[in-house]
Amino acid sequence: MSEILIPLHLGRIGKDAHTNETPSAQFFYQGFFASMTLLLSDYGNYVNRGWIETLNDLDISSIFQRAESDRLYDTEGNTWYDFIGHYGATLFGHYYPPLCNALQSALSTQPPIGTPLGISERAPLLALNLFDKLALRGEWNNWTLTTGAEAVEGALKIAVTVTKRHRILARSQSFHGLSALTLQLNDEASWYKGYETLVDNNRVDFFHDINEAVNLVATNDYAGVIIEPIQAIAGGRRVTAHEAAMLCQACDDNDTLLIVDEIFTGMGRCGHYSAMQALDWVIQPDIILLSKTLTGGLLPSSQLVVRKDYFDIFTTRPGCARLIASTFSGNSLDHIVALESIVQLSQALDDDILRVRQYEFARSLNNLVHQYPELIQQIDSLGSLHFLHFISPEFAWDIWKYLHNNRILTLLCTHSPNTLKLICPINQATEAQLAICNAINYLCDEAQYAS
């Protein structure tokens, strides 16, 4: 097993480890802590005081200096297992060599990074690759943007323009971004506390389950329905193939565009090119949004995959052909890295060793449910994404904190606080997987013994 020091867990390992050092080492660490303290204070003064206060409240002070593969390295020389993976962007781990090489060789050939007159050389090739991998039928366009929120906004603009309707339907507890328009798709008002006036939430209606959405769409009132096939921050709630078919039929019957946000779940995260494919959806939506994994965390980029008829309506309005793009959209470096990441992804999805390793990890997590049914309700795994549902938000928090103290980085789901989310690299080492299983096992044992 790994070097993880379970018996030392309850304190902050980095600092405990330093207490018995020689005088010269102590001197080094004093200087070192002084420089860390200075950095934190500068960060608070010149970057974001609120964030420093939040970390202080959580008793977190680690600063990460280097990232490689499935590990992060902090300024104290500690190694961390990373189960956050740049919020899903680093599907192959940090600085995956084939993606870095693609970027480096692109830099050496000096293509125009922006898009003079709007045309970037590899855009059609990327579009064709995406249509092929997503197994799309019919005619489609792909437009490259910069962030996920920008792609979501683009989709809403197209839906409103095409249908000439104004209302949008979104699922409760979703997350589609932090711009003023995408925040309208969020029914948790705490996300825009203080600037409620910028977020016009009279334009969006929310549904909880798919039957409700189907009934609302039947009112013939909506330009578009936007959904995540798996709601990541809502604890992994899924849309089944049957539900997707019902919703799609309702949209078709009522001329409403179906928008699927795969910004987090798409391109490998769920063990397939899309979560729709991983969940065996038969239907195809009108717009698909992709982002995170495609550029490996090296560059910001998002993709708006749209049925051609609808994009034509949007772009052929006189003078409006590019009114859906910001300065950095269509970036040719993005395209080069995205194309390489598709090559890497097709190999990874065909790799039996990786598949077995993911399966074994999911099985080990599930064994924990059998071992501790009073503490862990359920584990939902799909590809490199795992949701661990604990008995209460308090216990989930204890687990998160304990893992953190053992240098294992994970996330709690904001809209489902009893759920821990593991966002793994597709090629994650078994050492990291064993470490997290053992740590959870240990804390569950302790909790069971204490009760």
Ligand X SMILES: Cc1ncc(COP(=O)(O)O)c(C=O)c1O
Distance in Å, CB of 146 to ligand X, minimum: 8
Candidates 111-119, 145-153, 191-199, 216-224 — which segment interacts with ligand X by CB under 6 A?
A: 145-153
CB of 90 or CB of 147, closer to ligand X: 147
Candidates 5-13, 147-155, 328-336, 359-367 — which segment interacts with ligand X by CB under 6 A?
A: 147-155
Distance in Å, CB of 300 to ligand X, minimum: 7
- Token pair listed for 376: 């862990």
CB of 43 or CB of 87, closer to ligand X: 87
Question: Quick check: 148 binds ligand X (CB under 6 A)?
Answer: yes
Size of the site for ligand X (CB under 6 A): 14
Question: Quick check: 263 binds ligand X (CB under 6 A)?
Answer: yes
> Given candidates 154, 177, 266, 268, which one binds ligand X under the rule CB under 6 A?
177
> Given candidates 187, 228, 286, 340, which one binds ligand X under the rule CB under 6 A?
228
Candidates 27-35, 174-182, 214-222, 331-339 — which segment interacts with ligand X by CB under 6 A?
A: 174-182
CB of 183 or CB of 362, closer to ligand X: 183
Question: Quick check: 87 binds ligand X (CB under 6 A)?
Answer: yes
Distance in Å, CB of 389 to ligand X, minimum: 19
Which residues between 284 and 323 bind ligand X (CB under 6 A)?
Answer: 291
Question: Quick check: 266 binds ligand X (CB under 6 A)?
Answer: no
Distance in Å, CB of 426 to ligand X, minimum: 18
CB of 227 or CB of 396, closer to ligand X: 227
CB of 269 or CB of 404, closer to ligand X: 269
Distance in Å, CB of 230 to ligand X, minimum: 9
Question: Quick check: 387 binds ligand X (CB under 6 A)?
Answer: no
> Given candidates 83, 92, 140, 175, which one binds ligand X under the rule CB under 6 A?
175
Candidates 144-152, 164-172, 275-283, 365-373 — which segment interacts with ligand X by CB under 6 A?
A: 144-152
Candidates 33-41, 146-154, 427-435, 436-444 — which segment interacts with ligand X by CB under 6 A?
A: 146-154
CB of 205 or CB of 228, closer to ligand X: 228
Reduce the secondary structure of the chain to three states and give it as a string. CCCCCHHHCCCCHHHHCCCCCCHHHHHHHHHHHHHHHHHHHHHHHHCCHHHHHHHHHCCCCCCEEEEEECEEEECCCCEEEECCHHHHCCCCCECCHHHHHHHHHHHHHCCCCCCHHHCCCCHHHHHHHHHHHCCCCCCEEEEEECCHHHHHHHHHHHHHHHHCCCEEEEECCCCCCCCHHHHCCCCCHHHHCCCHHHCCCCCEEEECCHHHHHHHHCCCCEEEEEECCEECCCCCEECCHHHHHHHHHHHHHCCCEEEEEECCCCCCCCCCCCHHHHCCCCCCCCEEEECHHHHCCCCCCEEEEEEHHHHHHHHCCCCCCCCCCCCCCCCHHHHHHHHHHHHHHHHHHCCHHHHHHHHHHHHHHHHHHHHCCCCEEEEEEECCEEEEEECCHHHHHHHHHHHHHCCEECEEECCEEEEEEEECCCCCCHHHHHHHHHHHHHHHHHHHHHC
- Token pair listed for 263: 């910004």
Question: How far apart, in whole angstroms, are the C-alpha atoms of residue 416 and residue 268?
Answer: 24
- Binding interface with ligand X (CB under 6 A): 87, 147-149, 152, 175-177, 228, 232, 261, 263-264, 291
